[in-house]
Amino acid sequence: MSAIRLFVTTTEKQAAAVLDVISMVFEDEGYAVATMEIDEKRDVWEASVYMMADEEESVRSRLADALATEFSHLPIEREVLPEIDWIAKSLEGLAPVRAGRFVVHGSHDRDKVKTGEIAIEIDAGQAFGTGHHGTTAGCLEMLASVARSRRIGNVLDLGTGSGVLAIAAWKLLHVPGLATDIDPVATRVARENARRNGVVAGLTFATAPGFHSTAFGAHSPFDLIIANILARPLMKMAPELVANLAPGGSVILSGILAEQRWKVLAAYNGQRLRHVRTLWRNGWVTIHLTK
């Protein structure tokens, strides 16, 4: 089935405002939203939401309603995206990613791991996180930094995807960890990736739709919580996330566009967390806070 992109074309400033509006409507449901520059000289940008073809009618209607108040003058345009085997495509020329002491590589690049590096083998598959996205790489770099600054007894990888961050934490710290995702496919893939990386004990994988899940009770509170999700869900879950953080614990947050940074910080400052450091990678930020 084809994928569809619905988008509006406008200025950079308005595109950012449109992105905020459509993020509020669609991000929590897992739809991808994005802005991109089309013409630098003329300040032309697009703000888009992506969906499968059978969802187009519903998404278009909701998008029109969301834009009706401030942006009704912007016509909604449509693009049918080419059907590509993204798994195969993503492996073409996919070089290892180095972040701190970590190197994340596909099975085709095992021979490129250097002495002293912490290697994590992740092939592109059915779950997010090969280490090549700025958010994953940022989390890996921040994890190494946090580990140098304090003692960590247990870890939560919230929204684990491929499991790359949970595997990285275990290989670096060798402490118990819980890795959760709302998607059972991601949970299965993460567990398989852990085995592939020689992690057969110490990590627990669970499908958990929220902090009310019983999966958290046996492991909470956590000395370190890593949550690489999206800005709006991160803001929404701030009270519950902080409630599961041990005194003096650290939080690493990512999946946050640079322009969304202040909103996320405000949500967690409201829960009495202190900002320590922000990493910037390819328009995305990774934030370290402490309790």
Ordered domains of the chain (ranges, CATH) = 3-81 (3.30.70.2520), 127-290 (3.40.50.150)
In this prediction, residues 164-177 reach a mean pLDDT of 95
Mind spelling out the 3-state secondary structure of the chain? CCEEEEEEEECHHHHHHHHHHHHHHHHHHCCCEEEEEEECCCCEEEEEEEEEHHHHHHHHHHHHHHHCCCCCCCCCEEEEECCCCHHHHHHCCCCCEEECCEEEECHHHHHHCCCCCEEEECCCCCCCCCCCCHHHHHHHHHHHHHHHHCCCCCEEEECCCCCHHHHHHHHHHCCCEEEEECCHHHHHHHHHHHHHCCCCCCEEEEECCCCCCCCCCCCCCEEEEEEECCHHHHHHCHHHHHHCEEEEEEEEEEEEEHHHHHHHHHHHHCCCCEEEEEEEECCEEEEEEEC
pLDDT range class, residue 286, cuts 50, 70, 90: very high
* pLDDT for residue 142 is more than 80: yes
pLDDT at residue 96 greater than cutoff 90: no
Task: Round the average pLDDT of the chain to a whole number and report it.
Answer: 89
203-246, pLDDT tens digit by residue?
Answer: 999 999 889 888 898 899 999 999 999 899 999 999 999 999 99
Give pLDDT, residue 130: 47
Lowest pLDDT segment from 34-48, 90-104, 111-125, 137-151: 90-104
Place of tokens 């309603």: 65
Between residues 88 and 59, the one the model is more confident about:
59
pLDDT of amino acid 262 = 94
What percentage of the chain reaches a pLDDT higher than 90? 63
The yes-or-no verdict on residue 133 having pLDDT over 70 is: no
With bands split at pLDDT 50, 70 and 90, how would you rate the model's confidence at 173?
very high
| pLDDT, tens only, 73-86 | 999 999 998 776 55
Beta bridge partners of 178: 156, 204
**In DSSP terms, which residues pair with 180 in a beta bridge?**
158, 206
**Averaged over 87-115, what is the pLDDT?**
75
Question: What does the pLDDT read at residue 261?
Answer: 93
Nearest to 189 by CA among 130, 107, 126: 126
pLDDT, residue 151, reads 92
Q: What is the pLDDT of residue 81?
A: 84
- 244-264 pLDDT, tens digit each: 999 999 999 999 988 899 999
Question: Which residues belong to the annotated binding site for S-adenosyl-L-methionine?
Answer: 136, 159, 181, 228
In terms of pLDDT, which residue wins out, 99 or 237? 237
How far apart are the C-alpha atoms of 139 and 131, rounded to whole Å?
Answer: 9
89: pLDDT strictly greater than 60:
no
Q: Binding site residues, as ranges?
A: 136, 159, 181, 228
Checking if the pLDDT of 101 tops 60, the result is yes
